[in-house]
Amino acid sequence: MVTVEAASESVGVCARQGYLETAVVVDADGATIVALRGDGAGIHTLDSAHDKAYTSVSFKSDTIALEDRGRGEIAPLSKLPHVLFFGGGVVIKLGDETIGAIGASGAPGAKLDDTCARWTGENSR
Amino acid sequence: MVTVEAASESVGVCARQGYLETAVVVDADGATIVALRGDGAGIHTLDSAHDKAYTSVSFKSDTIALEDRGRGEIAPLSKLPHVLFFGGGVVIKLGDETIGAIGASGAPGAKLDDTCARWTGENSR
Amino acid sequence: MVTVEAASESVGVCARQGYLETAVVVDADGATIVALRGDGAGIHTLDSAHDKAYTSVSFKSDTIALEDRGRGEIAPLSKLPHVLFFGGGVVIKLGDETIGAIGASGAPGAKLDDTCARWTGENSR
Amino acid sequence: MVTVEAASESVGVCARQGYLETAVVVDADGATIVALRGDGAGIHTLDSAHDKAYTSVSFKSDTIALEDRGRGEIAPLSKLPHVLFFGGGVVIKLGDETIGAIGASGAPGAKLDDTCARWTGENSR
Amino acid sequence: MVTVEAASESVGVCARQGYLETAVVVDADGATIVALRGDGAGIHTLDSAHDKAYTSVSFKSDTIALEDRGRGEIAPLSKLPHVLFFGGGVVIKLGDETIGAIGASGAPGAKLDDTCARWTGENSR
Amino acid sequence: MVTVEAASESVGVCARQGYLETAVVVDADGATIVALRGDGAGIHTLDSAHDKAYTSVSFKSDTIALEDRGRGEIAPLSKLPHVLFFGGGVVIKLGDETIGAIGASGAPGAKLDDTCARWTGENSR
Amino acid sequence: MVTVEAASESVGVCARQGYLETAVVVDADGATIVALRGDGAGIHTLDSAHDKAYTSVSFKSDTIALEDRGRGEIAPLSKLPHVLFFGGGVVIKLGDETIGAIGASGAPGAKLDDTCARWTGENSR
Amino acid sequence: MVTVEAASESVGVCARQGYLETAVVVDADGATIVALRGDGAGIHTLDSAHDKAYTSVSFKSDTIALEDRGRGEIAPLSKLPHVLFFGGGVVIKLGDETIGAIGASGAPGAKLDDTCARWTGENSR
């Protein structure tokens, strides 16, 4: 399963940089395909990584690109279940179609999470 | 059922403009009568369209008219279940009485969602 | 949208027999595509029709065919969220693949619900 | 408000017989209009009385009349949210239409709860 | 039951001013004793009135007195279940002890809700 | 706090018999006052001990005395939130009034749990 | 991560026998470490596999060994969140201590799920 | 059990200063080991103390040190379940490893809660 490898790689890449990371891959409906919690990753990272992936696939956008709108115009939507405007969610595309997303959580900052997820996401595109 | 046609039209009008839209019609208690998720509409639009309709019927106001108060005076109420101060919810009236609402979600912006819903809502009034 | 027509037809067929019916169509992940609550259909039919469709698509079987196992061998699974071993859920297939399901609820008995859903389901196959 | 009086009476009638009773009146969607927890009534009676009323209005039947089917044919439906096949829920009708229900809980047995609710329900019909 | 009268009065006072009001009385644990939804009061007022009462009794303070701190220093607490820093919750005291609270919701503004609840609350002290 | 000692003792008594026990003390509304999870006690014992105590205080009866009715006449009530007809919940009384309950979970059987809880409960009466 | 390999293997072993399987590994608190949903595995298998693992680690027993008690003596506990007395959950031990569990779901029968999980579980012991 | 003593002490220290305090100790997964609600402590303190402890252990940081980032950079994470960026959560360490946390709630201000928890937390380190 390519998704397992993608998630494992995401967790591993971050781990090698010293971050305790969790990665979640979701399908087009935001349902979990793979969830991996790295050793020592905080318990909230299961929710956080999932919600980044969920938001990414549902908005068809990497979550880091949604952060500005998420603080402004579309801020009210951040109360919806699983919607999280915070970097670390990266879309997975098949051609032009968004077919899933990967979310990473655990590094100290949205940009670092985004890098871990993006590297994987881009490789799997 | 007129509500099905209203919802279908709302989704269709938006689709013709290229937006992947979901529409939900609720009754006076905010319970779903019709929900239609258009092809490709993000999974969060089911929650978003429902909550716009719920808020609209419960506050007896189109949600776009609540946005300013929702950022200010009544902001605390936005934590209540299903309360969403974000354009796209339009009341359905019978005479002076609010008997339901339609919510639309999926277009890139509250005003666009409002237009899709309003067009339908006004026609069904 | 073919799913809207399928759901409308399911509600309509039952209505013509005097049953107050709700129909829900879900995709392969059990997420709602269409929900239609007929006039006067009890509020619980929204949950019931959804859960029949969810169970049908997840177990890749019409729910009426699961009733016996649901009372016996697999009874413990009936506590899982949205799992309902009760007739009225019918799979929607594309070739050999189960791509969704329709659930109907409101008639006085699982077999009657099954008939309403099945008729539609079979027509849309 | 007639509903307040109906609920108060239901709690009072039971109290005079020594039962610590809770009564809930719901509208056609099963949403609460009145809830009254009598002195000393167990905390679960808030859920129980509500769910009896919800079930009654949604199935358009007093719940005591559903008990047999609830143990047999329609037993699977008892897992749905707020569905409770247990005496004490009585429909409120306007002519032939079920417009609400009252649920009573707290007496030691479904029949006693039913009597408290029924007396009120019938008076308010 | 004095609480029923207090809640009825709160709903009635507001109704005479043209507001569609809901009132909820809770005990020291924030559990509902009485809930009354006035004719036409929005469905969200059931949650809102309850949460105002819950917050009032748990913080041992009328909620209107918490609004400033609720926007500032203690804002993070507003995400806790049922915590709502919005006027309309009034404590019920027995001597110096807070033994319950009443919450009112439905008027167009926290101050109006507070007045309806306070009038009752003060009378019942 | 006497409740802490009661719960500690309940966990300790069971531990000395080799059972990994959790004890929960609730007040008259079923809200937690003390929860103690013994070393190695399964994660479900937090829910189980709480629900035994909740049921005990709400039904004003030790739960072991409810087991027979819980399998028969009042079985439908076992679906209500936190209602658990399973031995190990013991009422705490002040004179004739039930003012709380203690629940114990973790021993291999309802009777053993009941003994741990009862010993404490009786001492605290 | 050994847990990823264990879960992958469990899904893979079942897949080679034609079953669409999901595997979940949890830690001693029943929190997810790994979740893998195989291609085509029903959406309910995410809940089912998790709950089997949760039950297994919390009761310190493979779930297939709990089925008989789960239908009898301890049946009331099956209503607790995530408790599922159904084969397919296998404990992971470190010496004598239960440190986690793996749950498998998707094969047509508890015994088959148990075999997939057990094979992995035993290898990882 | 050292954790019971730690929690008792935390509640007691605050009580002697006149604050009605609740303390919760969680393990590395954020699951409750001990919860103690002091006499008169508001019902929301059970949630608040738990969530402070949960956040502390999951972010491996006392919560008072997270307040600034919680209002800024990582504010979106405050919507995740049980994440609360508010002083009063203190990590419990074994050497360098965060193995749990204690949360305190009830004093009028995050700093006071932090002092109660910290005193205990530091003593138990």
Mean pLDDT of chain B: 92
Q: Give the model's confidence band at F66: pLDDT under 50 very low, under 70 low, under 90 confident, else very high.
A: very high
Q: Quick check: H35 contacting F, CB < 8 Å? A: yes
Q: What is the pLDDT of residue H124?
A: 55
Residue A109 token pair: 């900052």
Instruction: Flag whether H touches G (3+ CB pairs, 8 A cutoff).
Output: yes
Distance CA B85, CA B61 (A): 11
pLDDT score of E124: 54
> Would you say E10 and E21 are in contact if contact means Cβ atoms under 8 Å apart?
yes
Question: Closest Cα of chain C to A109: distance in Å?
Answer: 32
G5 vs H49: which has the higher pLDDT: H49
Which pLDDT does position A2 carry in this prediction? 64
Chain D hits for F80, CB-CB cut-off 8 Å, are 44, 47-48, 51, 84
Average pLDDT of span A78-83: 98
Chain E residues touching residue H76 (CB < 8 angstroms): none
Beta strands C89-94 and G22-27 are: unpaired
Average pLDDT over residues B2-20: 83
Instruction: Write down the pLDDT at residue B61.
Output: 98
Phi, psi for residue H40 in degrees, rounded to 5: 80, -5
Of the pLDDT bands very low, low, confident and very high (cuts 50, 70, 90), residue B121 is: low
Helix axis angle, G110-124 to G2-16, nearest 10°: 140
Q: Is E74 on the interface with B (CB under 8 A)?
A: no
D86: its two tokens: 């247990």
What integer pLDDT is reported at residue F121 of this predicted model? 62
- What 3-state class would DSSP assign to G52? helix
Does the pLDDT of residue A125 top 70, yes or no? no
When pLDDT is cut at 50, 70 and 90, the band that residue F122 belongs to is low
Q: Around Cβ C120, how many Cβ atoms within 10 Å? A: 27
Give dist(CA C123, CA C121) in Å, integer: 5
* Tokens 């404990």 sit on residue: G91
**H-only helix segments in B37-76:** 44-59, 67-71
Mean pLDDT value of segment G35-62: 97
Phi, psi of F57 (to 5 degrees): -70, -35
By CB atoms closer than 10 A (0-12, 13-18, 19+), residue B78 is middle
Nearest to A84 by CA among A72, A94, A70: A70
Q: What is the CA radius of gyration of chain F?
A: 13
* F contacts of H34 (beta carbons < 8 Å): 35-37
Tokens 């009676």 correspond to: D45
Whether pLDDT at A1 is above 70: no
Please state, in angstroms and rounded to a whole number, the distance separating the CA atoms of residues A96 and H93.
48
Residue pointed to by tokens 């026998």: G17
Provide the residue-wise pLDDT of chain D in tens; the chain has 125 residues: 567 887 888 888 888 888 999 999 999 999 999 999 999 999 999 999 999 999 999 999 999 999 999 999 999 999 999 999 999 999 999 999 999 999 999 999 899 999 988 876 666 54
Could you tell me if B29 lies within 8 Å of chain D, comparing CB atoms?
Answer: yes
pLDDT of residue D4: 80
What amino acid is encoded at H67 in this protein? E
Q: What is the DSSP letter of C23?
A: E
Report the first-to-last Cα separation within chain B, whole angstroms: 14
What pLDDT, on the 0 to 100 scale, is given for residue H82? 98
pLDDT (0 to 100) of residue B12: 85
Angle at E75 between CA E71 and CA E78, to 5 degrees: 115
Report the distance separating Cα C118 and Cα F82, nearest Å. Answer: 38
What is the Cα–Cα distance from E41 to A69, expressed in whole angstroms?
A: 34
Model confidence band, residue F1 (pLDDT cutoffs 50, 70, 90) = low
Lowest mean pLDDT among D16-20, F65-69, G38-42: D16-20
The torsion defined by the Cα of B8, B14, B19 and B21, in degrees rounded to 10, comes to -30
What are the pLDDT digits (tens) for C32-50? 999 999 999 999 999 999 9
| pLDDT at residue H31 in the model | 98
| Predicted confidence band of residue H122 (pLDDT cuts 50, 70, 90) | low
CA distance E70 to E76: 8
Residue found by looking up tokens 């029968």 in the block: G109
pLDDT at B89 over 90: yes
pLDDT of residue E2: 64
Residues of A in contact with B110 (CB under 8 A): 73-74
Q: Is B85 in CB contact (< 8 Å) with chain E? A: no
Exposure of C73 in the CB half-sphere (CA atoms within 13 A): 8
Residues of B with Cβ-Cβ distance to D29 under 8 angstroms: 27, 29, 31
Reduce the secondary structure of chain H to three states and give it as a string: CHHHHHHHHHHHHHHHCCCCCEEEEEECCCCEEEEEECCCCCCHHHHHHHHHHHHHHHHCCCHHHHHHHHHCCCHHHHHCCCCCCCCCEEEEEECCEEEEEEEEECCCCHHHHHHHHHHHHHHHC
Alpha helices in F17-109 (DSSP H): 44-59, 67-71
What Rg value do the Cα atoms of chain H yield, rounded? 13
Phi first, then psi: what are they for E77, rounded to 5°?
Answer: -70, -15
Higher pLDDT, C52 or E121: C52
Kindly state whether G85 is in contact with chain F, defined as any CB-CB distance less than 8 angstroms.
no
Average the pLDDT over G57-66 and give the result: 98
The vertex-D6 CA angle with D4 and D10, nearest 5°, equals 115
Residue B12's contacts (CB-CB under 8 Å, 6 or more residues apart) are: none
Inspect the interface and report whether the beta carbons of A46 and G39 lie closer than 8 Å.
no
Measured between CB atoms, does H81 come within 8 Å of chain G? Answer: no
Q: Read off the tokens for G40.
A: 């085509």
Contacts 24+ apart (CB under 8 A), G61-65: G61/G91, G62/G87, G62/G89, G62/G90, G62/G91, G62/G114, G62/G118, G62/G121, G63/G87, G63/G88, G63/G89, G63/G90, G63/G103, G63/G110, G63/G114, G64/G88, G64/G89, G64/G110, G64/G111, G64/G114
Nearest to C61 by CA among C17, C116, C20, C98: C98
Average pLDDT over residues B28-56: 97
**H or E element: which one contains F120?**
helix F110-124
Considering chain E, what is the average pLDDT of its residues?
92
Asked if F70 reaches chain G (Cβ–Cβ under 8 Å), the answer is yes
Q: CA of E50: which chain B residue's CA is closest?
A: B80
- Residue in chain D closest to B28 (alpha carbons) equals D29
A82 neighbourhood in chain B, CB within 8 Å = 44
Instruction: Please give the residue that has the higher pLDDT: either F74 or A123.
Output: F74
pLDDT number for residue G116: 87
The reported pLDDT for the residue numbered E60 is 98
* Residue whose entry in the numeric block shows the structure tokens 């709302």: B10
Substitution target in D43, D54, D64 with the highest count of F β-carbons within 10 Å is D43
- Contact assessment for residue G106 and residue G22, using Cβ atoms and an 8 Å cutoff: yes
Residue at token pair 């009898």: G72
Structure tokens of A43?
């318990």
Around Cβ H65, how many Cβ atoms within 10 Å?
17
Is residue A41 within 8 Å of A22, Cβ to Cβ?
A: yes
Q: What angle do CA H86, H89, H91 make, to 5 degrees?
A: 140
Closest of G68, G61, G66, G67 to residue G101, by C-alpha: G61
What is the pLDDT, as a whole number, of residue G8?
85
**Among all residues of chain B, which has the CA nearest to that of E63?**
B76
The pair phi, psi for residue C32, each rounded to 5°, is: -65, 135
**B and C touching (3 or more beta-carbon pairs closer than 8 Å):** yes
Please give, rounded to a whole number of angstroms, the shortest distance from the CA of B80 to a CA of chain E.
Answer: 7
Share above pLDDT 90 across residues of chain B, in percent, rounded to a whole number: 74
pLDDT greater than 80 at residue A71? yes
Over the stretch H13-61, which tens digit does the pLDDT of each residue have? 888 888 999 999 999 999 999 999 999 999 999 999 999 999 999 999 9
Per-residue pLDDT band at H123 (split at 50, 70, 90): low
Query: Mean pLDDT throughout F58-85?
Result: 97
* Residue scoring higher pLDDT (C112 or A4): C112
